[in-house]
Amino acid sequence: MPNTLSKSLIAVMLVLLTGLSLAQQDDILRPEEAYRYAVADTGSAIEIDWVVEEGYYLYRNKMSYASGSDAIVLSAYDLPEGEHHEDEFFGVQQVYRDRFYVTIPYTIATDIPESVELVIKSQGCADIGLCYPPQTWTETIQLVARENSGGKIDLGSTFGTFGGANSDFLPVDEAFEPILTAIDGNNVEVAIRVTEGYYLYKDKIAASIQSDVAQAGILDLPQGELKTDQYFGEMEVYHEDVFGKLSVARATPEAMVVDLELKFQGCADGGICYPPVTRLLSVALPEATAVSALAAVAAPTAGAAPMVSEQGRLAQIITTAKLGSVIATFFGLGLLLAFTPCVLPMVPILSGIIAGEGDNISPTRGFSLAFSYVMGMALIYTAAGVAAAAAGLQLQAMFNQPWVLILFSSLFVILALGMFGMFDLQMPSAIQSRLASVSGNQKSGTAIGAFVMGALSSLVVTACVAPALIATLTVMAQTGDMVRGGTALFAMSLGMGAPLLLVGAAQGKLLPKAGAWMVAVKNAFGFMMLGMGIWMMSRMLPGEVTLAAYGILIFMAGVYLGGLTQLTPESLGMQKFGKGLGLLSIIYGAVLLVGSLAGSNSMLRPLAALNTGGGTAFVEEHRGLDFQRIKTTGDLDRALASAAASGKSAMLDFYADWCVSCIEMEEYTFTDSSVQDALSNTVLLQADVTANDDEDQELLKRFGVFGPPTIIFFGSDGMQRNGYEVVGYMKAKEFANHVRMATGTNDNLNAKN
């Protein structure tokens, strides 16, 4: 006997070791994933609905159930018959695959408790050869008897016997047959066939999803007929087949299979009522599209207020509104974007082009150059967006590669040198002569140059992500509607360029016609161009180097303003003003240089890294948020599970070094005390997608994110709070309020009050 026992133990150890080796090669499920169940109290028995994943099985003789409370006593139960299985180590066995049910009658030993604990023991294996050690799970069950009567009913008197050998009534699964059908990627039809002579209670029908990547919204059911019930009073019931619609919020658009837990209760017209039933059903969801996702986002999740993100509302406008409304809406949004840090740099570029025309510029000429510039920007920006959406490219990352940044920075430096008079920036004479022979206008080549510069400048705008851009890219990428999405994108581009038309027309009146003023204006535009070059390179250079470059630029600008020139009693007031402004620029530029050498990277606090009292350097106090960096989807899932286990919400921030708005969020929003207070019970996660490698793209794709800054919130249950996404820069006060809504802080405060 000892030898036999030793051999059995050795065999089990070999199975476990073999399984561990195989688990390194295959994607082995955890026990709680391979064997899932739904537990419900029927009023006189506990029912367990088991679902076993394909390729796995449970041993019948390794399964047992026990009460975890003295208040409930389990009666004898019979396990269903299993499949025949010849095991290498345990001999002939019965095993369970796919799906099976276990019913455990019980009696109450004391007063009916609110809930009881059921201890479930099981052991199973995978077909590839891995055997799990014995598992023990404890499940807390709410008692139906307690809910229905407050603990004062006879369990055997409320519900008649049914489904037995002497019963005239159908078993519950024959009286009511649930069926799930996927309508699209984000909506499921929940149907229950009702046999003639039976009916269902409307308010007893509920659905929830058992998944880490999907969450059920509210189940939309049709109106029922009123019935006065002897057990529950006046109720809405269904005597015929019922069809409901359930919206599904998803963390990833890929096709998936989700498990839906459906609860319902019904009666027979003959006088008996069935206990509540819980069934675990699976439904295959196809790939989600923008249209179906909008419907899911618009539908509130159970227990939550409806919330739709700004980009979700805009995407809905693109897909459902009239084309004229789409154009007007996105043109207006483009006007607002025109005054953001991402679009404003195009003003000095256009101004430099117009200044290069010399003293023969008129309002009409300025407007025509601006129009050529705007059309170049709008057409290329739209074409790039359509191509990126069609190809699934990360447009931001593509145009923020180091070689692209160096190329454009060099272009701005060349333009600046032209403004400083080091060479004449014009089309080659051969091309100018040919164009002149066609149109008779020697300056016609400049319009083409303005168009080309506009096209190149459009790539500057891709440094920022706004909800309007995300909405158009989402619609084009997920629905394939390039016409409506492209039209919205082109209208937004024209809106961004509209103020530039005013700049072009006004330059004809505001720019000096000749003399020293023209040289001064060109010099000013030259410094603007150099500033643009530094701004572009700041996405890849260390902060200290960027600060030093700005310091040198501002210092030299002060010299050009006359900060080092001598004044005479005959000097004009404007010359005195220029000297004062230049001297201040020289001092500030020098301060920036000193700060950069001390390790600072802030233009507002360049000397914060210096200890003026002791003369030694200290590390600048960190005033922002402390993020936990994640790299892969696996890192994210583990972090979310840990946050949920701690009862905390989570915030995922997509960040990149080349993202201008990300830096703004770091500097101005995350440092605010109200924002930090709102996030005090939230786990802060950050995905640095600067490299845009395969792991970064997988993480971006999971949430349908086109680029940073994008912030996603998760509840304390680990599920994504759909509709609360933040795209682009948001001011501190507004962001703090948004955080409170996204994490449920407002609800908690209201509950306390």
Same domain assignment for residues 122 and 213: no
Give the per-residue pLDDT at 311: 61
> Tokens in use for 56?
């796995």
For residue 148 the two structure tokens come to 């229905």
CB atoms within 10 A of CB 132: 21
- Give domain status of residue 538, yes or no: no
Chain CA centroid to CA 741, Å: 16
Say yes or no to pLDDT of 58 above 80.
yes
Q: What is the pLDDT of residue 702?
A: 80
Q: Alpha carbon of 231 to those of 144, 263, 274: distances in Å?
A: 13, 19, 12
> Are residue 191 and residue 89 in the same domain, yes or no?
no
Which has the closest alpha carbon to 447: 378, 365, 555, 509? 365
- Is 73 within the bounds of a domain? yes
pLDDT of 444 > 70? The answer is no
Checking if the pLDDT of 459 tops 70, the result is no
Same domain, 214 and 329: no
Structural domain includes residue 612: no
Is residue 742 packed enough to be buried (19+ CB in 10 Å), middle (13-18) or exposed (0-12)?
buried
Judgement on whether residues 126 and 241 belong to the same structural domain of the protein? no
Name the nearest CA neighbour of 244 among 259, 224, 226, 214: 224
> What is the model's pLDDT at position 150?
38
Q: Are strands 45-52 and 72-74 parallel, antiparallel or unpaired?
A: unpaired
**Through-space distance between the first and last CA atoms of the chain, rounded to whole angstroms:** 69
Output the pLDDT for position 42: 72
Q: Quick one: three-class SS letters along 77-110?
A: CCCCCCEEEEECCCEEEEEECCEEEEEEEEEECC
Whose CA is closest to 497, among 278, 681, 637, 338? 338
Please provide the size of the chain in residues: 753
CA atoms of 210 and 38, how far apart (whole Å): 10
Which among 385, 595, 533, 398 is positioned nearest to 473, based on CA atoms?
Answer: 385
Tell whether 717 and 638 lie within a shared domain. Answer: yes
**Is residue 745 a part of any domain in this protein?**
yes
In a domain, 609, yes or no: no
Q: What is the pLDDT of residue 493?
A: 82
Look up the domain containing 128 and give its range. 2-158
> Strand order in 206-210's β-sheet?
206-210, 256-264, 277-285
- CB contact set of 379 (below 8 Å; sequence gap of 6+): 455, 490, 493
> Residue 410: inside a domain, yes or no?
yes
Question: Do 195 and 255 have their domain in common?
Answer: yes
**Same-domain check for residues 270 and 322:** no
In a domain, 743, yes or no: yes
- pLDDT tens-digit map of 549-569: 888 989 988 888 888 888 888
Contact (CB, 8 A) for 701 and 687: no
Is 576 a member of any domain?
no
| 180-184, 270-274, 321-325 — most confident range | 180-184
Q: In whole numbers, what is the pLDDT of the chain averaged over residues?
A: 74
- pLDDT digit string, tens, across residues 533-553: 787 777 677 878 888 988 898
Does 142 share its domain with 182?
no
Whether the predicted pLDDT of 99 surpasses 50: yes
Contact, 747 vs 726, CB < 8 A?
no
- Please say which residue of 513, 539, 564 terminates a domain: 513
CATH number of 42's domain: 2.60.40.1250
Same domain, 118 and 186: no
Residues 334 and 294 in one domain: no
Cβ–Cβ < 8 Å for 218, 299: yes
Are residue 154 and residue 184 in the same domain, yes or no?
no
In the numeric block, the tokens 């490299």 are attached to: 691
Lowest mean pLDDT among 247-251, 620-624, 666-670: 620-624
Domain boundary (464, 498, 513) is at: 513
Whether residue 65 is predicted with pLDDT greater than 60 in this model: the reply is yes
User: Residue 135 pLDDT more than 70?
Assistant: yes
User: One-letter amino acid identity for 255?
Assistant: A
Number of structural domains, the chain?
4
Picking from 158, 183, 206, the residue at the C-terminal end of a domain is 158
Average pLDDT score over residue span 587-611? 81
Same domain as 187, residue 100 = no
State mean pLDDT over 171-181: 88
pLDDT at 151 over 50: no
pLDDT category, 679, cuts 50, 70, 90? very high
Residue 14 has pLDDT above 50, yes or no: no
Indicate if the pLDDT at residue 633 is higher than 50.
yes
C-alpha to C-alpha distance for 568 and 564, rounded to whole angstroms: 13
Is residue 435 scored above 80 in pLDDT?
no
At 474 the pLDDT is: 62
- At residue 424 the predicted structure's pLDDT band, cuts being 50, 70 and 90, is low
Q: Which residue has the tokens 């027979």?
A: 268
